[in-house]
Structure 1
Amino acid sequence: MNKTININLANTFFHIDEDAYIKLQRYLDAIKRSFTDSQGKAEIIADIEARIAELFSERLQHERQVITSKEVDEIITIMGQPEDYLVDEEIFDDAPKSHKSTSAKSHKQLFRDIDRKYIGGVCAGLSYYLGIDVLWVRLLFILVTVLSSGFGIFIYILFWILVPEAATTAQKIAMTGEPVNISNIEKKIREGFDDVTEKVKSVDYDKMGASVKKNSKSFFDSLVSVLMFLLKVLAKFIGIIVLIVAAIVLISLFVGLFTAGTIDIWGAQPWREFIDITVNAPVWLISLLTFFAVGIPFFFLFYLGLKILLNNLNSIGNFAKFTLLGVWLLSIIGLISLGIKTATDYSFNALSTETESIAHSPLDTLEIRTVEAIGLKNRYYRDSDFDIVINDGEKMIYREDMEFRVEQSPDEEIRIEIEKKSQGRNYDDAFERADDIEYSYKLENNVLYLNNYLTTDYKNKFRDQEIEITIYIPENAIVRFHNSTYYNIDGHIKNNMNYYSSGLANHVWKMDNLGVLNCLDCPVEDWNDENDAANKEADTLQKTDSIVKDSVKIDSVTLKNQ
C-alpha cells in the first residue's frame, strides 16, 4: 500500500505516489540549484515545471490516475539530468565543453507564432513548420486569396481557430523542432533578455547537452519500427490527398456561392437562369443550401486531413460539431423539400382550348404557312427546351413547340382549334399556366399564317408549355402545305399517299368524305414505284422458295440412291 499526495504543478492538479513525489521533488530541487546565479531563473523554473506538467497530462488516461515513479523516470529521461545542463560562466571564456544529452532532435509541431505575428501568427508559425521564410508564406496566402476570390481569408481564419498559439516557452521550442528539455528552455528564455551578452548567445547548447543513448534492438523490433514508419508515411500521404481534395471542393463551393450564387460579378450565369425558370425558389437559397449540404462534409474531411498531418491540432469542440451537423441536416431537408416541391410543380397536366371560325371560302385553296418570331431574335438565354427573350423590356419565355394537323369539318365552315397545354402543382395551377400562353395566327389572301412559337410571361416559369392546333376543313376543300410547315406537321394526318409528317409539305391536298387527304400533285410514279418494289419482293421470295424446295427434292433423291 502506497501513500498518495495531491500536488499543484504549474496550476495543474495531479495525484502522485509518495515515492514518485520524493523523486520529482529532488529532481526539481537539483534543477533549481543548477540555476542559482542564472539570470531569468524564475522564468526558467516556471517553464520547466509547465513542460513537466504537460508531459504528465499526456500520460494520464483519466483525472483520478496516480502518477508513479515510472512516469517520473520517463519525464526525467525526456527533460535530462540537471547536471548535464549546468552552465558555468567560466565556460564562456574558453571553448564550450561537450555534455551528454538524453534527448534527441524532436519533430516540429505547428503553432501560431505570436512573437512575429501581423494578424494571428499563422504565416509565422507555418514558416517554422515548412522550413521556409515567412515572407514567402505571406505572399502565398495573398496569391491564394486573389485567385480564389477570397477563399485564402477563409483558410487563414480556419488555421487561426484550429492551430494553437505558442504561448509557453516549451511550445515555442517545439515549434522550431528542437527537443523541449532543460537546455533549450533555458536557452529560449535567456534569448529574451536584452542584457544577455553575445558570448552567452553564441554558446551551442545542443552540443553541451548532446547525450546519445543507444538502445539495442532485436531484428523484429527493427522490422516493427520500419513497418510503423511506412504506415505513418502512408497515413500522411492519405492525409495530404484528403486535404487537397477537400480544399479544392471547398474553394469551388466558396467561389460558386459568392460569385455566381448571390452576386452577378461575372454577369448573368445561364445555370442561374435555368434554375430560376424551372425551380420555384430563389437562386441564393438553393446556392446556400447546396453550399452547406456539400461543404460541411468536405469541411470535416479537410479537418481530418489536417488532423492526420498535425498531431497538436486543436479540436473544434462538441458545440461546433453538433452545430455544423444541425446545419447540414437542415440543408439536406431543405434541398429534399425543394426537390419534392419542384417535382410536384410538374405533376398535373391541363389544357386550355380556343376554337374560332375562319372566314374563308371552301372553294378557294387554303395555303398553310408557319412564321418565325421577327422581333424576338435577341435571346437573353438559350436552352434546348426554351429560351428567354426580352420584349419591350420585359422577360418572356419563348418556345418553338407547335404542331398542327388537318381533319374533316362536320359542316361547311373552316375552323381552327388551339390547344394550350401546361403542367402545374395541381389542376387549377396547370390550367392557369396553360391559359396564360400567348399565341397568335392570321388569315390573309387565302393564306393561314401560324406562329411556329409560343410565349408566356417569365413569372409563369417553365412548365413544359406547348401548343397543338387542329384545322377543320369541309369535304372537297383544298389545302396546300407550304415548305415552311416542314417541321410542324403532325405525323398522324390521314392521306392516300401514306406520307408521314414532313412528307405532306409542298403538296396540294383535297379532303374526301372519309376524312382522308388526297394528293393532287404527287408524282404517280411514287405509288407505282412502291407497287413495283412490293411485286419484286414477292417474286424474289417466290423464287427463293422454289429453289429451296428443289434443293430438298434433290437431297431426297440423293439419299434414296445411297
Structure 2
Amino acid sequence: MNKTFNINLGSYPFAIDEDAYNYIQNYLGTIRNHFSSSDGCDEILYDIEVRMAELFQEHLKGRAIISMKEIDEVIMIMGKPEDFGAEPMSETSYSSTRNRKSDTKINAGKRMFRDPDDQKLAGVCSGIAAYFGIEDPLWIRLIFAILFFTGAGVITYIILWAIVPQASSASDKLAMRGEPATIQNIAKVVEDEMSELGDKINEWSKDLGSKKKSDVNQGFSVKSFLAKAVNVFGLVVSGIIPMIRKVFKPFFLLIAILLLSVLGITWAASFVGITYASSAIAFMGPDSDTLSYLGIGSLLFTAGLPILGLMLMISRLVFNYKIHKNVRTGMWTVWFLSLFTTLFAGMSTIREYSTSHNYTTSTDYNINGNEIKIMMPEENLDHSFG
C-alpha cells in the first residue's frame, strides 16, 4: 500500500502516490541540474512543470491520484533527460519508459493565442498567422486594414482581442505554432526569450545614453515633449486596456456568440429565401435553372462558411474542445469548390447577358420642304422575368 502526497506542480494541485512522487522528483532534479548554467533556468523549469501539469490533467480522466501509468504517458511526450543531452537519471527508474523509444511521433495540436512577441497592438494578427502557418503576419494585418473600412474589422478585432488568450508561457507559444511542447523545445523558447531580452536591454541602455546627451546639448524641444507625452499616453492605455478586457470579457463573449448566431441564422434564411426566389434564379441564368441554383448555392456557401468557421473557432475557445482535422480540411475544400463554382456561374451569367446585334433597314421617303420631324413609336419596355 503506497503513501500519497499532495504536491503543487506548475501552480496546479495534485495527489500523487509514493513511487510516482520519487520518480518525478528525480526527473525534475535532473532537468534542473542540466539547465543550471542557463540564465532562464527557473523559467525553463516552471514552464516544464506547467506543461506536465496540463498533460496530467488530460491523462487523469477523472482519476484522483497520479500513478506511474500517468508518469509513463507524460514522459513519453516530454522526453527523457538523455534525449536532449542531459545526464541519464541517477536513480533506478520505476517507469517502463526506460525500455521505450522516445522518438515516437507526437501529434501536437494547435491552439489559438495572441502572439506577444510580434504584436503591433494586441498580437491578434500575428497569432492568427502563427495558427495558420503564415510566416509573415503582414497579410493578416492587411486583411484587417481592408475590413476596417467596412466597419467589420474593428468589431472582429475587438472580439478576438477579448476572447483569445495571450501566449504567456513557452508551452503556449509552441502550441500556437503547432510544435510539440517537449523539454528541448521549451528550453529553446525560454533561452531565445532571455537572449532577446538581453539584446533589448542593451539597446535601451544605448538609446538612453544617446538621449541624455541629446537632451544636454539641445535642451527642451517640442519634439522631445511630444515624444514623452506619447510614451506616457501609451503606458496609460496599455495599463487600462487589459483591465477593460478582463472586466468586459464575458460581455464581449456574449456579444460575439449573439452576433455570430444572428449571422448564421441570416445565412440560413437567405439560403431558403433565394432558393424560392424565381426572379433571382431567372436573372442568374435565364437559359439554365440548374446553373442558377448552383450559382446561388455556391455563393451562399462561399459567404457562409467563413462565418461558420469563425463560430466554430469561438466555440472551441469557449468550450475547450478540439475540431477534428478532417472537419477543417472538408470545410476548406468545400469553400474553394464553392468559390470556383461561384466564379464560373458569374462568368456564365455575364456571357449570357453580353450580346451584340446589328439591325439595318432601308425606307424611301418623299420629303417636301426643308423641315424634317422624326417621331418614335411608344413601346412598353417594362419586362419581367419568369
TM-score by structure 1 length? 0.34
Task: Say which one has the larger Rg.
Answer: 1
TM-score by structure 2 length? 0.48
Compare the two structures and name the one with the higher helix fraction: 2
Compare the two structures and name the one with the higher strand fraction: 1
Greater relative CO, 1 or 2 (CA 8 Å, sep 6+): 2
